[in-house]
Chain A
Amino acid sequence: MPFGDEVAEQGWCTGAVVPQGMLPVIAQHLTRPGAAAVEVAADHWLVVVSQTCDVVARTLEAEPFVEILHCKPIKKPRAQYRDFRSTRILDFRPNRETHEAVALSAHAVADRYLVPRELFRDQPPDPDRHLSGEAAQRIMAWYALRAGRPSWPDAFVKRIDKDTEDALEAAIEPLKEDIAEVRLGIVEKDDELGDDQSYHVAVYFVVDAEIWEGDVEGRAAINAAFATFVSKLNECDGIEVDQNLSEVVSGDEFTWQETRATDEWNFANLSHRE
Protein backbone atom coordinates (compact mmCIF):
# COMPACT_ATOMS: atom_id res chain seq x y z
CA MET A 1 0.00 0.00 0.00
CA PRO A 2 1.42 3.44 -0.88
CA PHE A 3 2.59 5.45 2.10
CA GLY A 4 -0.03 8.15 1.62
CA ASP A 5 -2.85 5.61 1.66
CA GLU A 6 -1.68 4.30 5.01
CA VAL A 7 -1.81 7.80 6.45
CA ALA A 8 -5.23 8.36 4.91
CA GLU A 9 -6.49 5.09 6.30
CA GLN A 10 -5.68 6.30 9.80
CA GLY A 11 -7.97 9.25 9.16
CA TRP A 12 -5.48 12.12 8.99
CA CYS A 13 -6.65 15.20 7.15
CA THR A 14 -6.78 18.96 7.50
CA GLY A 15 -8.29 19.80 10.87
CA ALA A 16 -7.43 16.47 12.51
CA VAL A 17 -6.06 16.77 16.02
CA VAL A 18 -3.00 14.99 17.38
CA PRO A 19 -4.08 12.74 20.28
CA GLN A 20 -2.45 13.05 23.69
CA GLY A 21 -0.98 9.59 23.25
CA MET A 22 1.15 10.77 20.34
CA LEU A 23 2.78 13.59 22.29
CA PRO A 24 5.83 11.63 23.46
CA VAL A 25 6.54 10.70 19.85
CA ILE A 26 6.29 14.18 18.39
CA ALA A 27 7.41 16.28 21.38
CA GLN A 28 10.96 16.57 20.08
CA HIS A 29 9.61 18.25 16.95
CA LEU A 30 7.66 20.88 18.86
CA THR A 31 10.71 23.00 19.53
CA ARG A 32 12.46 26.11 18.37
CA PRO A 33 16.22 26.16 17.82
CA GLY A 34 17.88 26.77 21.17
CA ALA A 35 14.60 26.77 23.05
CA ALA A 36 13.06 24.30 25.43
CA ALA A 37 10.40 21.92 24.17
CA VAL A 38 6.94 23.41 24.09
CA GLU A 39 4.59 22.31 26.79
CA VAL A 40 1.36 20.91 25.49
CA ALA A 41 -1.36 20.76 28.11
CA ALA A 42 -4.25 18.34 27.86
CA ASP A 43 -6.63 21.09 26.76
CA HIS A 44 -4.34 22.34 24.01
CA TRP A 45 -5.16 21.32 20.46
CA LEU A 46 -2.41 20.27 18.05
CA VAL A 47 -4.20 20.75 14.76
CA VAL A 48 -3.12 19.53 11.34
CA VAL A 49 -3.08 22.57 9.05
CA SER A 50 -1.50 21.01 5.96
CA GLN A 51 -3.91 20.53 3.08
CA THR A 52 -5.38 17.03 3.11
CA CYS A 53 -3.92 16.27 -0.31
CA ASP A 54 -0.46 16.96 1.14
CA VAL A 55 -1.11 14.99 4.30
CA VAL A 56 -1.97 11.90 2.24
CA ALA A 57 0.51 12.51 -0.60
CA ARG A 58 1.43 9.18 -2.13
CA THR A 59 5.14 9.18 -1.37
CA LEU A 60 6.89 10.39 1.75
CA GLU A 61 9.49 12.15 -0.37
CA ALA A 62 6.81 14.29 -1.99
CA GLU A 63 5.64 15.67 1.38
CA PRO A 64 8.06 14.81 4.17
CA PHE A 65 6.36 16.94 6.84
CA VAL A 66 2.95 17.71 8.24
CA GLU A 67 2.28 21.23 9.50
CA ILE A 68 0.86 21.35 13.00
CA LEU A 69 -0.64 24.40 14.69
CA HIS A 70 -0.42 24.50 18.46
CA CYS A 71 -3.67 26.12 19.63
CA LYS A 72 -4.26 27.16 23.21
CA PRO A 73 -7.60 27.68 24.87
CA ILE A 74 -8.86 31.17 25.59
CA LYS A 75 -12.01 32.41 27.24
CA LYS A 76 -13.57 33.68 24.03
CA PRO A 77 -12.38 34.96 20.66
CA ARG A 78 -11.08 38.49 21.02
CA ALA A 79 -12.37 41.20 18.69
CA GLN A 80 -8.95 42.11 17.33
CA TYR A 81 -7.98 38.54 16.53
CA ARG A 82 -11.13 36.83 15.32
CA ASP A 83 -12.64 36.71 11.84
CA PHE A 84 -9.40 37.51 9.99
CA ARG A 85 -8.83 40.80 11.77
CA SER A 86 -5.20 39.85 12.29
CA THR A 87 -2.93 37.85 10.07
CA ARG A 88 -0.65 37.13 12.99
CA ILE A 89 -2.98 35.71 15.60
CA LEU A 90 -6.23 33.86 15.07
CA ASP A 91 -8.84 33.38 17.76
CA PHE A 92 -11.48 30.91 16.68
CA ARG A 93 -14.00 28.31 17.73
CA PRO A 94 -12.77 24.88 16.68
CA ASN A 95 -16.05 23.04 16.57
CA ARG A 96 -19.36 24.51 17.66
CA GLU A 97 -21.10 21.13 17.52
CA THR A 98 -18.72 19.02 19.59
CA HIS A 99 -17.03 21.69 21.70
CA GLU A 100 -19.46 24.56 21.86
CA ALA A 101 -17.75 26.44 24.67
CA VAL A 102 -14.18 26.04 23.46
CA ALA A 103 -12.27 28.92 21.88
CA LEU A 104 -8.66 28.65 20.77
CA SER A 105 -5.88 30.99 19.83
CA ALA A 106 -2.69 30.51 17.83
CA HIS A 107 0.05 32.54 16.23
CA ALA A 108 0.48 31.86 12.53
CA VAL A 109 4.21 31.24 12.73
CA ALA A 110 5.28 31.00 16.36
CA ASP A 111 2.85 28.18 17.02
CA ARG A 112 3.39 26.27 13.80
CA TYR A 113 5.62 23.22 13.72
CA LEU A 114 6.78 20.73 11.13
CA VAL A 115 6.40 17.12 12.17
CA PRO A 116 7.78 14.22 10.09
CA ARG A 117 4.94 12.62 8.21
CA GLU A 118 6.05 9.06 8.91
CA LEU A 119 4.90 9.58 12.49
CA PHE A 120 1.32 9.74 11.26
CA ARG A 121 1.31 6.34 9.61
CA ASP A 122 0.84 4.25 12.71
CA GLN A 123 -1.61 6.20 14.83
CA PRO A 124 -5.03 7.71 14.17
CA PRO A 125 -5.98 11.26 15.11
CA ASP A 126 -7.83 12.17 18.29
CA PRO A 127 -11.27 10.54 17.98
CA ASP A 128 -12.97 13.13 20.18
CA ARG A 129 -11.54 16.36 18.84
CA HIS A 130 -11.37 17.65 15.30
CA LEU A 131 -11.99 20.98 13.62
CA SER A 132 -15.34 21.58 12.02
CA GLY A 133 -15.33 22.11 8.27
CA GLU A 134 -15.88 25.81 8.85
CA ALA A 135 -13.02 26.10 11.33
CA ALA A 136 -10.66 24.21 9.01
CA GLN A 137 -11.70 26.47 6.13
CA ARG A 138 -11.14 29.50 8.34
CA ILE A 139 -7.60 28.49 9.21
CA MET A 140 -6.68 27.77 5.61
CA ALA A 141 -8.17 31.10 4.51
CA TRP A 142 -6.27 32.81 7.31
CA TYR A 143 -2.96 31.42 6.08
CA ALA A 144 -3.85 32.34 2.51
CA LEU A 145 -4.67 35.86 3.62
CA ARG A 146 -1.39 36.15 5.48
CA ALA A 147 0.55 35.11 2.42
CA GLY A 148 -1.51 36.94 -0.15
CA ARG A 149 -2.45 40.23 1.45
CA PRO A 150 -1.09 43.31 -0.25
CA SER A 151 1.64 45.19 1.51
CA TRP A 152 0.19 48.65 1.84
CA PRO A 153 2.58 51.43 2.84
CA ASP A 154 2.85 52.07 6.57
CA ALA A 155 2.30 55.76 5.95
CA PHE A 156 -1.01 54.92 4.29
CA VAL A 157 -2.16 52.56 7.02
CA LYS A 158 -1.30 55.09 9.72
CA ARG A 159 -3.66 57.60 8.17
CA ILE A 160 -6.62 55.35 8.93
CA ASP A 161 -7.07 55.76 12.66
CA LYS A 162 -8.89 53.30 14.86
CA ASP A 163 -12.13 55.25 14.90
CA THR A 164 -12.17 55.45 11.14
CA GLU A 165 -11.29 51.77 10.87
CA ASP A 166 -14.27 50.96 13.08
CA ALA A 167 -16.51 53.23 11.03
CA LEU A 168 -15.35 51.61 7.79
CA GLU A 169 -15.98 48.17 9.21
CA ALA A 170 -19.45 49.19 10.33
CA ALA A 171 -20.12 50.63 6.87
CA ILE A 172 -19.43 47.37 5.10
CA GLU A 173 -21.24 45.18 7.58
CA PRO A 174 -24.06 44.56 5.04
CA LEU A 175 -21.50 43.08 2.65
CA LYS A 176 -20.68 40.19 4.96
CA GLU A 177 -23.32 38.16 3.19
CA ASP A 178 -20.83 37.92 0.35
CA ILE A 179 -22.93 40.10 -1.91
CA ALA A 180 -20.12 42.44 -2.87
CA GLU A 181 -16.39 42.88 -2.56
CA VAL A 182 -14.62 46.10 -1.72
CA ARG A 183 -11.58 46.77 -3.88
CA LEU A 184 -9.13 49.59 -3.46
CA GLY A 185 -6.62 50.98 -5.89
CA ILE A 186 -3.78 53.08 -4.49
CA VAL A 187 -1.74 55.13 -6.93
CA GLU A 188 1.24 55.35 -4.56
CA LYS A 189 0.93 51.76 -3.37
CA ASP A 190 4.68 51.24 -3.20
CA ASP A 191 5.60 54.59 -1.67
CA GLU A 192 5.97 55.77 1.89
CA LEU A 193 4.75 59.34 1.48
CA GLY A 194 5.60 62.27 3.70
CA ASP A 195 2.96 64.01 5.76
CA ASP A 196 2.64 66.74 3.16
CA GLN A 197 1.67 64.31 0.40
CA SER A 198 -1.60 62.51 -0.15
CA TYR A 199 -2.38 58.97 -1.19
CA HIS A 200 -4.78 58.83 -4.11
CA VAL A 201 -7.19 55.94 -4.03
CA ALA A 202 -10.10 54.61 -6.04
CA VAL A 203 -12.77 52.54 -4.34
CA TYR A 204 -14.90 49.93 -6.08
CA PHE A 205 -17.74 47.96 -4.61
CA VAL A 206 -17.97 45.03 -6.98
CA VAL A 207 -21.43 43.56 -6.72
CA ASP A 208 -22.33 39.94 -7.28
CA ALA A 209 -23.96 39.83 -10.72
CA GLU A 210 -27.08 38.08 -9.46
CA ILE A 211 -27.57 40.76 -6.83
CA TRP A 212 -26.90 43.43 -9.41
CA GLU A 213 -29.53 42.07 -11.74
CA GLY A 214 -32.18 40.90 -9.36
CA ASP A 215 -32.01 42.26 -5.82
CA VAL A 216 -32.98 45.89 -5.48
CA GLU A 217 -32.81 45.85 -1.68
CA GLY A 218 -29.35 44.31 -1.78
CA ARG A 219 -28.19 46.96 -4.21
CA ALA A 220 -29.63 49.71 -2.03
CA ALA A 221 -27.70 48.37 0.97
CA ILE A 222 -24.52 48.19 -1.08
CA ASN A 223 -24.94 51.71 -2.42
CA ALA A 224 -25.54 53.08 1.07
CA ALA A 225 -22.46 51.22 2.32
CA PHE A 226 -20.42 52.62 -0.56
CA ALA A 227 -21.49 56.18 0.23
CA THR A 228 -20.52 55.83 3.87
CA PHE A 229 -17.28 54.01 3.14
CA VAL A 230 -16.07 56.56 0.62
CA SER A 231 -16.95 59.57 2.75
CA LYS A 232 -15.26 58.07 5.82
CA LEU A 233 -12.12 57.16 3.91
CA ASN A 234 -12.04 60.56 2.29
CA GLU A 235 -12.12 62.18 5.73
CA CYS A 236 -8.72 60.70 6.57
CA ASP A 237 -5.98 63.29 6.43
CA GLY A 238 -3.67 62.51 3.54
CA ILE A 239 -6.03 60.16 1.70
CA GLU A 240 -7.91 61.43 -1.33
CA VAL A 241 -10.60 59.25 -2.85
CA ASP A 242 -10.79 59.69 -6.59
CA GLN A 243 -14.45 60.51 -7.10
CA ASN A 244 -14.20 60.32 -10.86
CA LEU A 245 -13.25 56.67 -10.72
CA SER A 246 -14.83 55.22 -7.61
CA GLU A 247 -17.99 53.27 -8.37
CA VAL A 248 -20.42 50.57 -7.40
CA VAL A 249 -20.11 48.17 -10.29
CA SER A 250 -21.53 44.84 -11.35
CA GLY A 251 -19.26 41.83 -11.12
CA ASP A 252 -20.12 41.21 -14.76
CA GLU A 253 -18.49 44.47 -15.70
CA PHE A 254 -15.45 44.68 -13.41
CA THR A 255 -12.67 43.38 -15.60
CA TRP A 256 -9.60 41.26 -15.01
CA GLN A 257 -7.50 44.34 -15.70
CA GLU A 258 -9.32 46.28 -13.03
CA THR A 259 -8.92 43.41 -10.60
CA ARG A 260 -5.18 43.44 -11.15
CA ALA A 261 -5.00 47.19 -10.62
CA THR A 262 -6.76 46.99 -7.25
CA ASP A 263 -6.51 45.08 -3.97
CA GLU A 264 -9.32 43.54 -2.04
CA TRP A 265 -10.03 45.68 1.01
CA ASN A 266 -9.43 43.66 4.08
CA PHE A 267 -8.95 44.78 7.64
CA ALA A 268 -6.09 42.32 7.89
CA ASN A 269 -4.32 44.59 5.40
CA LEU A 270 -4.16 47.14 8.19
CA SER A 271 -3.02 44.69 10.84
CA HIS A 272 0.71 44.92 10.28
CA ARG A 273 0.71 48.05 12.44
CA GLU A 274 -0.26 46.00 15.48
Chain B
Amino acid sequence: MSDTIEARFYNAQRATLLQRRPSTIIDAAESSHPAVPMQFYGGGETHLIGSYRMGTKLTGARTVLIVDTDVLLATSAIPTVSVEDFDADSWSRWSKASKEAFQKATAAAKAAPSAAARLRVERLAALQAALGLSTSNLAQALGLSRPGLYKWLDASSDVKLQGASRERLAAVERIAKQWRERTTAPLSSVSNEPLADGRTVLSMMVADQFDEATVVGAFDELLAKLAGKPKTRSQKLAEAGFKRRPSAKSLPSDE
Protein backbone atom coordinates (compact mmCIF):
# COMPACT_ATOMS: atom_id res chain seq x y z
CA MET B 1 0.00 0.00 0.00
CA SER B 2 1.74 3.11 -1.13
CA ASP B 3 -0.97 5.70 -0.79
CA THR B 4 -2.93 6.84 2.16
CA ILE B 5 -6.30 5.52 3.08
CA GLU B 6 -8.07 8.14 5.05
CA ALA B 7 -10.16 6.82 7.86
CA ARG B 8 -12.65 9.59 7.35
CA PHE B 9 -16.17 8.87 6.28
CA TYR B 10 -18.68 11.29 4.93
CA ASN B 11 -22.40 11.04 5.03
CA ALA B 12 -24.37 11.42 1.85
CA GLN B 13 -24.97 15.09 2.28
CA ARG B 14 -21.40 15.97 2.98
CA ALA B 15 -20.22 13.90 0.08
CA THR B 16 -21.31 16.67 -2.20
CA LEU B 17 -18.18 18.43 -1.08
CA LEU B 18 -16.17 15.88 -2.99
CA GLN B 19 -15.23 16.74 -6.51
CA ARG B 20 -15.54 13.20 -7.76
CA ARG B 21 -18.88 12.26 -6.34
CA PRO B 22 -20.47 9.17 -7.94
CA SER B 23 -23.96 10.54 -7.92
CA THR B 24 -25.55 7.21 -8.60
CA ILE B 25 -24.36 5.80 -5.32
CA ILE B 26 -25.34 8.86 -3.39
CA ASP B 27 -28.78 8.86 -4.95
CA ALA B 28 -29.24 5.24 -4.11
CA ALA B 29 -28.08 5.88 -0.59
CA GLU B 30 -30.38 8.79 -0.05
CA SER B 31 -33.38 7.08 -1.55
CA SER B 32 -33.11 3.98 0.61
CA HIS B 33 -31.21 4.17 3.84
CA PRO B 34 -28.75 6.59 5.34
CA ALA B 35 -25.53 5.44 3.83
CA VAL B 36 -22.01 6.58 4.36
CA PRO B 37 -19.89 7.17 1.32
CA MET B 38 -16.27 6.27 1.83
CA GLN B 39 -13.32 8.13 0.41
CA PHE B 40 -9.67 7.50 0.13
CA TYR B 41 -6.69 9.52 -0.87
CA GLY B 42 -4.56 8.04 -3.58
CA GLY B 43 -2.61 9.09 -6.61
CA GLY B 44 -2.58 12.63 -5.31
CA GLU B 45 -6.35 12.95 -5.39
CA THR B 46 -9.33 12.23 -3.22
CA HIS B 47 -11.70 9.60 -4.52
CA LEU B 48 -15.10 8.55 -3.39
CA ILE B 49 -15.09 4.80 -3.72
CA GLY B 50 -18.19 3.40 -2.15
CA SER B 51 -20.73 3.58 0.59
CA TYR B 52 -21.87 1.45 3.43
CA ARG B 53 -24.43 1.33 6.18
CA MET B 54 -23.40 1.40 9.76
CA GLY B 55 -24.28 -1.70 11.73
CA THR B 56 -25.50 -3.79 8.84
CA LYS B 57 -23.90 -6.24 6.57
CA LEU B 58 -23.77 -4.71 3.18
CA THR B 59 -21.48 -7.00 1.36
CA GLY B 60 -21.63 -4.93 -1.77
CA ALA B 61 -20.26 -1.47 -1.48
CA ARG B 62 -19.20 -1.65 2.12
CA THR B 63 -16.09 -3.71 1.82
CA VAL B 64 -14.40 -2.01 -1.03
CA LEU B 65 -11.19 -0.17 -0.52
CA ILE B 66 -8.94 0.60 -3.40
CA VAL B 67 -5.32 1.32 -2.79
CA ASP B 68 -2.38 1.90 -5.01
CA THR B 69 -1.57 -1.69 -5.83
CA ASP B 70 -3.17 -3.79 -3.15
CA VAL B 71 -6.77 -4.47 -2.45
CA LEU B 72 -7.40 -4.61 1.22
CA LEU B 73 -10.93 -5.76 1.18
CA ALA B 74 -12.90 -6.42 -1.92
CA THR B 75 -16.03 -8.21 -2.83
CA SER B 76 -16.61 -10.26 -5.90
CA ALA B 77 -19.50 -8.00 -6.70
CA ILE B 78 -17.36 -4.98 -7.41
CA PRO B 79 -14.40 -4.84 -9.72
CA THR B 80 -11.30 -3.48 -8.07
CA VAL B 81 -9.16 -0.95 -9.80
CA SER B 82 -5.63 0.04 -9.06
CA VAL B 83 -4.83 3.70 -8.95
CA GLU B 84 -2.66 3.45 -12.05
CA ASP B 85 -5.68 2.36 -14.06
CA PHE B 86 -8.01 4.70 -12.36
CA ASP B 87 -9.04 6.61 -15.42
CA ALA B 88 -12.44 7.96 -16.30
CA ASP B 89 -13.59 4.76 -17.98
CA SER B 90 -12.69 2.52 -15.14
CA TRP B 91 -14.32 4.96 -12.76
CA SER B 92 -17.48 4.81 -14.82
CA ARG B 93 -17.46 1.03 -14.89
CA TRP B 94 -16.67 0.80 -11.24
CA SER B 95 -19.32 3.32 -10.35
CA LYS B 96 -21.95 1.37 -12.27
CA ALA B 97 -20.99 -1.89 -10.64
CA SER B 98 -20.96 -0.21 -7.25
CA LYS B 99 -24.43 1.08 -7.77
CA GLU B 100 -25.71 -2.36 -8.70
CA ALA B 101 -23.97 -3.96 -5.77
CA PHE B 102 -25.26 -1.28 -3.47
CA GLN B 103 -28.82 -1.70 -4.66
CA LYS B 104 -28.58 -5.46 -4.36
CA ALA B 105 -27.14 -5.23 -0.88
CA THR B 106 -29.82 -2.76 0.16
CA ALA B 107 -32.53 -5.03 -1.19
CA ALA B 108 -31.00 -8.00 0.58
CA ALA B 109 -30.83 -6.06 3.82
CA LYS B 110 -34.47 -5.18 3.45
CA ALA B 111 -35.44 -8.79 2.69
CA ALA B 112 -33.42 -10.26 5.53
CA PRO B 113 -35.75 -11.58 8.18
CA SER B 114 -35.92 -9.64 11.39
CA ALA B 115 -34.98 -11.23 14.69
CA ALA B 116 -38.63 -11.13 15.69
CA ALA B 117 -39.66 -12.94 12.52
CA ARG B 118 -37.02 -15.60 13.00
CA LEU B 119 -38.12 -16.09 16.58
CA ARG B 120 -41.73 -16.41 15.44
CA VAL B 121 -40.80 -19.14 12.96
CA GLU B 122 -38.72 -20.96 15.58
CA ARG B 123 -41.60 -20.83 18.03
CA LEU B 124 -43.95 -22.28 15.46
CA ALA B 125 -41.44 -24.98 14.52
CA ALA B 126 -41.08 -25.96 18.17
CA LEU B 127 -44.83 -25.98 18.49
CA GLN B 128 -45.22 -28.20 15.48
CA ALA B 129 -42.52 -30.50 16.77
CA ALA B 130 -44.40 -31.08 20.00
CA LEU B 131 -47.85 -31.32 18.50
CA GLY B 132 -47.18 -32.83 15.08
CA LEU B 133 -50.50 -31.53 13.82
CA SER B 134 -51.21 -31.09 10.14
CA THR B 135 -50.85 -27.57 8.86
CA SER B 136 -54.64 -27.27 8.67
CA ASN B 137 -55.15 -28.43 12.22
CA LEU B 138 -52.39 -26.24 13.60
CA ALA B 139 -53.83 -23.27 11.74
CA GLN B 140 -57.23 -23.99 13.28
CA ALA B 141 -55.70 -24.41 16.73
CA LEU B 142 -54.07 -21.03 16.36
CA GLY B 143 -57.23 -19.45 15.03
CA LEU B 144 -55.70 -18.85 11.62
CA SER B 145 -56.45 -19.73 8.05
CA ARG B 146 -53.99 -22.07 6.40
CA PRO B 147 -52.49 -19.30 4.24
CA GLY B 148 -52.37 -17.20 7.38
CA LEU B 149 -50.25 -19.83 9.10
CA TYR B 150 -47.92 -19.98 6.10
CA LYS B 151 -47.54 -16.24 6.39
CA TRP B 152 -46.55 -16.68 10.02
CA LEU B 153 -44.10 -19.37 8.91
CA ASP B 154 -42.50 -17.07 6.38
CA ALA B 155 -39.62 -15.31 8.12
CA SER B 156 -39.51 -12.63 5.44
CA SER B 157 -43.11 -11.78 6.17
CA ASP B 158 -43.53 -8.93 8.59
CA VAL B 159 -46.45 -10.21 10.61
CA LYS B 160 -47.42 -8.41 13.75
CA LEU B 161 -49.05 -10.76 16.21
CA GLN B 162 -52.17 -9.03 17.47
CA GLY B 163 -53.52 -9.45 20.98
CA ALA B 164 -55.89 -12.37 20.41
CA SER B 165 -53.46 -14.19 18.13
CA ARG B 166 -50.65 -13.71 20.56
CA GLU B 167 -52.71 -15.05 23.45
CA ARG B 168 -53.89 -18.02 21.46
CA LEU B 169 -50.34 -18.82 20.37
CA ALA B 170 -49.14 -18.56 23.95
CA ALA B 171 -51.92 -20.86 25.15
CA VAL B 172 -51.16 -23.48 22.50
CA GLU B 173 -47.48 -23.19 23.37
CA ARG B 174 -48.23 -23.87 27.02
CA ILE B 175 -50.22 -26.95 26.03
CA ALA B 176 -47.38 -28.10 23.79
CA LYS B 177 -44.89 -27.60 26.59
CA GLN B 178 -46.98 -29.68 28.96
CA TRP B 179 -47.27 -32.45 26.41
CA ARG B 180 -43.60 -32.34 25.61
CA GLU B 181 -42.71 -32.70 29.26
CA ARG B 182 -44.62 -35.96 29.32
CA THR B 183 -43.52 -37.63 26.09
CA THR B 184 -41.41 -37.27 22.97
CA ALA B 185 -44.23 -38.54 20.76
CA PRO B 186 -46.22 -35.89 18.95
CA LEU B 187 -49.67 -35.13 20.30
CA SER B 188 -51.06 -35.90 16.86
CA SER B 189 -50.47 -39.60 17.55
CA VAL B 190 -53.51 -39.57 19.80
CA SER B 191 -55.18 -36.25 19.11
CA ASN B 192 -58.05 -37.94 17.31
CA GLU B 193 -58.57 -40.62 19.94
CA PRO B 194 -61.95 -40.24 21.63
CA LEU B 195 -61.71 -39.38 25.29
CA ALA B 196 -64.04 -40.63 28.03
CA ASP B 197 -66.44 -37.78 27.38
CA GLY B 198 -66.55 -38.58 23.67
CA ARG B 199 -64.58 -35.56 22.56
CA THR B 200 -61.11 -35.56 21.09
CA VAL B 201 -58.30 -33.30 22.17
CA LEU B 202 -58.04 -32.03 18.62
CA SER B 203 -61.67 -30.99 18.60
CA MET B 204 -61.05 -29.11 21.84
CA MET B 205 -58.03 -27.33 20.50
CA VAL B 206 -59.53 -26.20 17.20
CA ALA B 207 -62.66 -24.83 18.84
CA ASP B 208 -63.12 -21.07 18.77
CA GLN B 209 -62.66 -21.01 22.52
CA PHE B 210 -60.81 -23.72 24.35
CA ASP B 211 -60.12 -24.45 27.93
CA GLU B 212 -56.44 -24.98 28.41
CA ALA B 213 -56.88 -26.81 31.68
CA THR B 214 -59.33 -29.27 30.15
CA VAL B 215 -56.93 -30.06 27.32
CA VAL B 216 -54.00 -30.59 29.67
CA GLY B 217 -56.25 -32.53 32.00
CA ALA B 218 -56.84 -35.04 29.23
CA PHE B 219 -53.17 -35.81 28.84
CA ASP B 220 -53.02 -38.70 31.30
CA GLU B 221 -55.80 -40.42 29.46
CA LEU B 222 -54.09 -39.75 26.15
CA LEU B 223 -50.77 -41.07 27.40
CA ALA B 224 -52.49 -44.30 28.40
CA LYS B 225 -53.90 -44.53 24.90
CA LEU B 226 -50.48 -43.81 23.44
CA ALA B 227 -48.96 -46.65 25.44
CA GLY B 228 -51.68 -48.98 24.24
CA LYS B 229 -51.36 -48.11 20.57
CA PRO B 230 -50.48 -50.99 18.27
CA LYS B 231 -47.05 -50.87 16.71
CA THR B 232 -46.75 -49.42 13.26
CA ARG B 233 -45.48 -51.51 10.38
CA SER B 234 -42.14 -49.71 10.38
CA GLN B 235 -41.75 -50.31 14.12
CA LYS B 236 -42.43 -54.01 13.63
CA LEU B 237 -39.92 -54.14 10.78
CA ALA B 238 -37.27 -52.39 12.85
CA GLU B 239 -37.87 -54.70 15.81
CA ALA B 240 -37.55 -57.71 13.52
CA GLY B 241 -34.16 -56.44 12.38
CA PHE B 242 -35.12 -54.84 9.09
CA LYS B 243 -33.29 -51.55 8.94
CA ARG B 244 -33.66 -49.02 6.20
CA ARG B 245 -30.68 -48.41 3.98
CA PRO B 246 -28.93 -45.14 4.66
CA SER B 247 -29.32 -42.80 1.75
CA ALA B 248 -26.35 -41.40 -0.16
CA LYS B 249 -27.12 -38.08 1.50
CA SER B 250 -25.78 -39.47 4.75
CA LEU B 251 -22.30 -39.96 3.28
CA PRO B 252 -19.88 -37.49 4.82
CA SER B 253 -19.31 -34.43 2.69
CA ASP B 254 -16.25 -34.29 0.46
CA GLU B 255 -15.90 -30.64 1.30
Contact = CB atoms under 8 A, between A and B. Distances in A.
B121 A227 contact: yes
A248 B147 contact: no
Contacts of B132: 212, 219, 250
A145 B132 CA distance: 32
B57 interface: no
Given A178-B246, A219-B128, 10 more contacts: A77-B254, A77-B255, A93-B254, A134-B252, A176-B250, A178-B247, A219-B186, A220-B125, A223-B128, A227-B125
A209 interface: yes
B178 interface: no
Contacts, number: 110
B25 to A, nearest CB: 22
Question: What's the dominant secondary structure at chain A's contact region?
Answer: helix
Interface string A219-231: 1111110111011
A247 B155 contact: no
A213 B134 CA distance: 15
A138 B248 contact: yes
Interface string A49-75: 000000000000000000000000000
A212 B183 CA distance: 12
Nearest to A231: B154
Interface stretch (B5-13, B90-98, B198-206, B233-241): B233-241
Interface of A: 77, 82-84, 91-93, 103, 134, 137-138, 141-142, 144-145, 175-178, 181, 209-210, 212-224, 226-228, 230-231, 234-235, 243-244, 246-248, 250-252
A141 to B, nearest CB: 3
Nearest to A84: B248
Nearest to B134: A247
Most buried by A among B128, B130, B248: B248
A246 B150 CA distance: 10
A213 B189 contact: yes
Given A145-B248, A231-B157, A82 B184 contact: no
State the 9 A-B residue pairs at the shortest beta-carbon distance, nearest first: A141-B248, A219-B129, A220-B129, A224-B125, A231-B154, A223-B125, A227-B153, A178-B250, A223-B128
A104 B234 CA distance: 39
A137 B157 contact: no
B180 interface: yes
Nearest to B135: A247
Contact of B146 (A144, A175, A220, A244): A244
Most buried by B among A175, A212, A221, A247: A212
A144 B122 CA distance: 36
14 contacts: A77-B254, A134-B251, A176-B250, A176-B253, A213-B185, A213-B189, A220-B122, A220-B125, A221-B125, A223-B126, A224-B121, A227-B155, A231-B153, A244-B146
